[in-house]
Amino acid sequence: MPDQQQILTTLKEYFGYDSFRPLQEEIISSIFKSKDNLVIMPTGGGKSICYQLPALLLPGVTLVISPLIALMKDQVDGLSANGINAAFINSSQHENEQQEIYQKILDKQLKLLYVAPESLSFLDTVLSQVVVSLIAIDEAHCISSWGHDFRPAYTQLGYLKNKFPKTPVIALTATADKATRQDICNQLNIPNATQHLASFDRKNLSLEVRPGNKRIEQILNFLEERPNESGIIYCLSRKATETIAEKLQNQGFNAQAYHAGIDHQKRATVQENFVNDSLQIVCATIAFGMGIDKSNVRWVIHYNLPKNIEGYYQEIGRAGRDGLPSSTLLFHSYADVVQLQKFADMSGNKDVQLAKLDRMKQYAESLSCRRKILLSYFGELIVDDCGNCDVCKNPPTFIDGTILAQKVLSTVTRIKEQEPIGTVIDVLRGAQNATVFDKGYQHLKSYKIGNDIPWKDWQQYIIQLINQGYLEIAFHQNNKIKLTSLSKKVLFENEKISLAHLKDFEKAKQIITEV
């Protein structure tokens, strides 16, 4: 294993940096100990060096699996410019080009080899003849159908660990909730991988949610306050990106549409102009932004509700990479929820998708600090409100919710975290139905301790507790309500809980029909 000094020298020599960013060093040293690793780090956090640097110091070749064929060439060019021997293999190449690379692998000339998962099988024989020192799986969330960007070609990657049992694997992604993280590790056959979770807190991004009525008018006002600042408007449909871009152009704004249906050349131009600041606004479907290196995106607007929090967080994360204050605005409309429910209904993983959408909707309707919700979704529990979201800036009226919270949490404890929200409320209210009687919940101490409060109100209080991180929903276990590490503060340390008054909740939930 190389020593500290050798690692730092390599960092300086090949990448030009004097020090590591948070987590990079511990990840790298874990690789040198031949351990398997899962890295969850936001975009721009510095994931690449975590495998590129070890690749330079390990004896054989490092295999990098990446779905982003379009970006492989750039990555390899970047590495070559730094004097690192790297190449890529994907379906865009001619056969003789690939043959040349096979030869380089056999001649042990390469330190890094980028491969699209679809092309991996062609390499099988070549790889059997060389030492593979490290396997890096980029965008690892693509392997899980529980994640938000499932790619079937990823599902075969588990065989790599079987083929190279002694080679450490490092899986990297910018987005994965707790259950998805475990699913990634299981599918890659690295169930005991060390998980490295970087902080997702992007304090420079302000968070705001508004009812989605008269959206164009609101956007025009928003833009007026931000002359010449560049930003992205995410839309659900291709059609919407075009209509909105046109409306903005008619008002004299420098805006273009971007979606997968636009021809390749035109798309590349839009992207290029946006990156070099000659295009101010891109109206895009989610296809836009993956891998784009533009640090001065000052705002991101979601014209439509995103289908889950992972996607939303990744998209707003494209703003303010330079660390300067940047704004994000989400429009919440009931019509979007209905539309997204239809999509989810048609998807393979219906229940999970619907539960994730529900969580997104709760975020939009929340009366708790929005950053707390986002971070707790990714397993990061913060105690203080952020001060940089619309709820913090314009707080609702609060009531002392300590006793309510104690009642809920003790009920969840007594039913052994085995039930979804509806049954928790049934037990609290002393419902007399089959679920309750079948499981004998009527004998619990918690039974009926909350029958003075209407069902719907309990529901809102419990959602607030989830939003504040005192409970969580296990999406992959039939939405059972689970305790979190914060729960014990309420149960055993008498922590004071504030809950929003429910009259404010009705206000936040205004139903919007205008599109």
For position 46 contacting ligand ADP by CB under 6 A, the verdict is yes
Residue 386 site contact among ligand ADP, Zn ion, none (CB < 5 to 8 Å, cut-off depends on kind): Zn ion
Provide the minimum distance between the beta carbon of 96 and ligand ADP in the complex, in angstroms, as a whole number.
Answer: 31
Backbone phi and psi for residue 190, each to the nearest 5 degrees, phi listed first: -130, 60
For position 47 contacting ligand ADP by CB under 6 A, the verdict is yes
Instruction: Compare residues 20 and 303 and give the one whose CB is closer to ligand ADP.
Output: 20
For position 48 contacting ligand ADP by CB under 6 A, the verdict is yes
∠ CA 239-244-246 to the nearest 5 degrees? 100
For position 17 contacting ligand ADP by CB under 6 A, the verdict is yes
Q: Which member of 65, 89, 262, 392 binds Zn ion (CB under 5 A)?
A: 392
For position 102 contacting ligand ADP by CB under 6 A, the verdict is no
Residue 222 site contact among Zn ion, ligand ADP, none (CB < 5 to 8 Å, cut-off depends on kind): none
CB 144, CB 184: distance < 8 Å: yes
Q: What DSSP string describes 45-89?
A: S--HHHHHHHHHHSSSEEEEE-S-HHHHHHHHHHHHHTT--EEEE
Instruction: Compare residues 46 and 395 and give the one whose CB is closer to ligand ADP.
Output: 46
Instruction: Compare residues 49 and 76 and give the one whose CB is closer to ligand ADP.
Output: 49
For position 369 contacting Zn ion by CB under 5 A, the verdict is yes
Residue ranges of the alpha helices (H) in 197-237? 215-224
The position carrying tokens 């991004």 is: 205
Task: Give the binding range for ligand ADP (CB under 6 A) out of 26-34, 39-47, 227-235, 266-274.
Answer: 39-47
Strand order of the β-sheet with 112-115 is 86-89, 112-115, 61-65, 132-137, 169-173, 37-40, 194-197
Amino acid in position 358: D
Total residues binding ligand ADP (CB under 6 A) = 12
Task: Give the binding range for ligand ADP (CB under 6 A) out of 42-50, 204-212, 252-260, 388-396.
Answer: 42-50
Q: Which member of 2, 35, 44, 509 binds ligand ADP (CB under 6 A)?
A: 44
Encode 391-408: b = buried (16+ Cβ within 10 Å), e = exposed.
Answer: bbeeebeeeebeebbbbb
Residue 204 site contact among ligand ADP, Zn ion, none (CB < 5 to 8 Å, cut-off depends on kind): none
Hey, what's the torsion of the CAs at 448, 449, 450, 451, to 10 degrees? 40
Instruction: Compare residues 24 and 256 and give the one whose CB is closer to ligand ADP.
Output: 24
Alpha-carbon distance of 216 to 341, in angstroms, equals 24
Q: Which member of 190, 205, 319, 389 binds Zn ion (CB under 5 A)?
A: 389
Residue 392 site contact among ligand ADP, Zn ion, none (CB < 5 to 8 Å, cut-off depends on kind): Zn ion
Among candidate residues 160, 109, 114, 156, the one with its CA nearest the CA of residue 130: 109
Residue 476 site contact among Zn ion, ligand ADP, none (CB < 5 to 8 Å, cut-off depends on kind): none
Joined together, the tokens standing for residue 348 give 């393979």
210, β-bridge pairs: 331
For position 175 contacting ligand ADP by CB under 6 A, the verdict is no
CB 37, CB 171: distance < 8 Å: yes
Instruction: Compare residues 11 and 373 and give the one whose CB is closer to ligand ADP.
Output: 11
CB 369, CB 363: distance < 8 Å: no
Provide the minimum distance between the beta carbon of 401 and ligand ADP in the complex, in angstroms, as a whole number.
Answer: 38
| Residues making up the chain, counted from first to last | 515
For position 356 contacting ligand ADP by CB under 6 A, the verdict is no
The residues of the shown chain that bind ligand ADP, judged by CB under 6 A, are 17, 20-21, 24, 41, 43-49
The residues of the shown chain that bind Zn ion, judged by CB under 5 A, are 369, 371, 385-386, 389, 392
